[in-house]
Structure 1
Amino acid sequence: MSQRSLRVRYLLQRARRLSLGNVTEFARQVQRVSKAPLPVIVADMLWSSVRYEMGFRDYAVWDIRLLNARERRTWMTHPKSVRLNNTLNGPDSESLLGDKPRFYRDFADMIGRDWIDAADASDDQLTAFLTRHPRVLVKPAEGEGGRGITTFDAAEIPDVAAWRAQLVADNRSLVEEVLPQHERMSELYAGSVNTLRLITYRSPDGTFHVIAAVLRIGNGGVVDNFAGGGMFTMLDDAGVARWAGVDKNSNVFAQHPVTGVSIAGFEVPQFAEAVAMVEEASRRLPTVPYVGWDVAITPSGPALIEANHNSSVFQMKPSVSGVRTGLLHRYRDAVGPGILDRRR
């Protein structure tokens, strides 16, 4: 399928799912940095979705209203990322990465934690697991965005058989030990495991590219996902946070509101080791060259949380960074200009 056809198909799918409530919500976010009337913002959002292949959340989170046409053309967007996934990754990418138990088995030497699938385990096996791990994390065996993830204390589960049956009925059958995180990452925020999102591409000649490096930080919940209430900031090539944190509602945090730790300048420990690990992992996936890796930093080294064949896009708000251009050039440098050429 041509790139133009992929664009048209995506726009039609978006149009069918168009929600006036979502459009209004994002437009009101935009009004925090723009004094334009709401109808003008909505019209510009709709225009940008067609002209720049830009999602409504992209428009709001990245302050697109403040940018001129030349600057807007420099931003990577979620629709473009979907096209990269559909073009670069093989048809087996979702089964290889979206099935978490399979992913855990394939990368057993890199995940750094014990786990059990309650759908396949007996009550006795699950009881033994809870004996070994008095606090566990429960998540869907498939899914993304941090949805459905909760923690349980084994002491508060009086009937393991009934608990197991409920997990299976809720399609949340994956039970894991809670990963300890590096002391420095806990100082930033201890309520969740704060992770890296490393968006990478392995070119046909084997060259490995780190397109974007992101630090995701929890904020009042057990997950650090942007969609789950957490915040993010961008890292430089040495793993140092460049700017303040931002959440999905465009709130900006110079310091973490719980710990008071400054976010800009925060240095992620073992960053080089994390990059080396995902490069090795990437070479085990010959049909999936474009991946967003989630990595935790534990006291004993980096550990893979999961891998996303349809990675989100992360860039920093111009109103926070002062930088009015996006990261499209880094994607083009890695994958080549053809797929991301607007005219195709």
Structure 2
Amino acid sequence: MRTTRTLALVLAFVLTASCAFASTLEDVTKRGYLKCGTHIENPGFSALDSSGNRIGFDVDFCRAVGAATNVDVKYTPLTSKERLPALQSGEIDLLSRTTTLTMSRDTNLGLDFTVVTLYDGQGLMVRKELGITKASELDGATICLQTGSTTELNVADYFRKHNMKFTPVVFDKQPDVRKAYDTGRCDVHTTDVSGLAAQRSLMEKPEEHIILPELISKEPLAPVVRHGDNQWGDIVRWTIWLTMAAEEKGITADNVDKMAKETKDPEVQRMLGVTGTLWQNLGLDKDAPVRIIKTVGNYGDIFERNLGVNTPLRLERGYNSQWNEGGLIYAPPFR
């Protein structure tokens, strides 16, 4: 009798938990907008343009999910310390803020990382006038960094491994890190290489600073959702994968309508909702994929527009090239 009652209680708890965590799409649709957490200011990833509109690589993936669900997007600028608690508490529906996928974050915080959108690594930036050309010359350096991220641990690990000492100067906000470094309070500025490129672009004399060649960590960056809402996690994943597959298939914002009408490629037909019910199975309408691509373009468009060689960040594609071009960007089959 007691066993039966215990099983019933467990089942009731599981069903209650499932209901509690399975309503993000419903909440977003009812509310009429997606609450997306992102950077306060990180050029190329999330920043305000001259008209006051938020733009950037991370922002575009917020916009893509907004297009998938056919709602507006409202942004919540967050520091490194604030970002994960904001998602855990339900303050935001999605976190798209250069957040590194780690085992502890993915398994111990009630969160799920979705798809890696940028393969990055932590770097070290110094002034050219110091004459430093490699990380092994930084013994005794003063290093400016942001707290509440993997940055602190990576630096400590790297310097301990190489039997070197350093003095950390920590700040809660990335703009404060940049300002402290730019005014000479420390010898080194460290964060992800893409972040260093972004912060360098804001300095008074960007050409006077170099990013050393060594990467001291692996930093796979991915949008994050709350654990337990499988439908919402799948929507975010397949929205991102659609942009990646679209680049592989040559689909752009300019030609997506034509491709949807004229393509003979069975996979493209399924991707774009022309045949099958892949998108309806996620709880979306059949026009969702075309809407996504018309809003943000494909992955290559997103990268080049925000981070590429013709932007202030001047980043090469590198590992973020398509799988058939020597990179790691790879979307599963749409079938």
TM-score when normalising by structure 1: 0.24
Higher percent of residues as helix: 2
Pick the structure with greater CA Rg.
2
TM-score when normalising by structure 2: 0.24
